[in-house]
Amino acid sequence: MSYKRWSFIAILLFSIGLAIGLATPLSIAGLMSEEIAALEELSRILVPFSFLTVILIFIKNVSALVVSFVLSPILCLAPILSLTVNGWLLAFVSSAVVQEESLGFLLAGLLPHGIFEIPALIIGQAAALSFGTMAMLALFRRRRSLLLPSLKQNLRYFLVALALLLPAAIIETYVTPLLIT
């Protein structure tokens, strides 16, 4: 299957997560108080306008993509979960922000770095889905000769995704705080 189709599948999975997130009632936030407290603690560490914050955001995002890519041969569960959960979380949090603040506030907080980070997620997870599927085919259908070319091709896309995460982290640290204050 072509990489273009894997990209479409990744976008579809992310969109399913978005739809679920928009359909999730905001009253569930009370059930997630422990997770919200952990995010608030993380926000104290990741201070705006700090090079350390850029590094931490970049490392967190890169490690999430790397783990998903490495675990993708296990039924592609990691990329599928990553795409749907990230879509769900984005939509769920966005709904809460729009209710608390405004649509303009949400867009100012998401768009500057999101134009890099969301495509990076889609590109990286599409590569993970493609590689994971090929690895499973190589294992179960004895098509091992296709595995190395697939790995090389998907690593190229994966490196593009990783490269997009750096400007996303820089913008998230230095530009987004200026727009939402």
Structure token pair of residue 128: 């993970």
Residue range 39-51: mean pLDDT, rounded: 82
What pLDDT is recorded for position 39?
66
pLDDT band at 32 (very low <50, low <70, confident <90, very high): low
pLDDT 10s digits, 48-92 = 999 999 999 999 999 999 999 999 999 999 999 999 999 999 999
Residue range 133-141: mean pLDDT, rounded: 91
Residue range 24-47: mean pLDDT, rounded: 73
Give the Cα-Cα-Cα angle 120, 121, 123 (nearest 5 degrees). 65
Domains of the chain, by residue range, sit at 3-23+49-180
One-letter-per-residue 3-state SS of 58-107: HHHHHHHHHHHHHHCCCCCHHHHHHHHHHHHHHHHHHHHHHHHCCHHHHH
Residue range 28-50: mean pLDDT, rounded: 75
pTM attached to this predicted model: 0.92
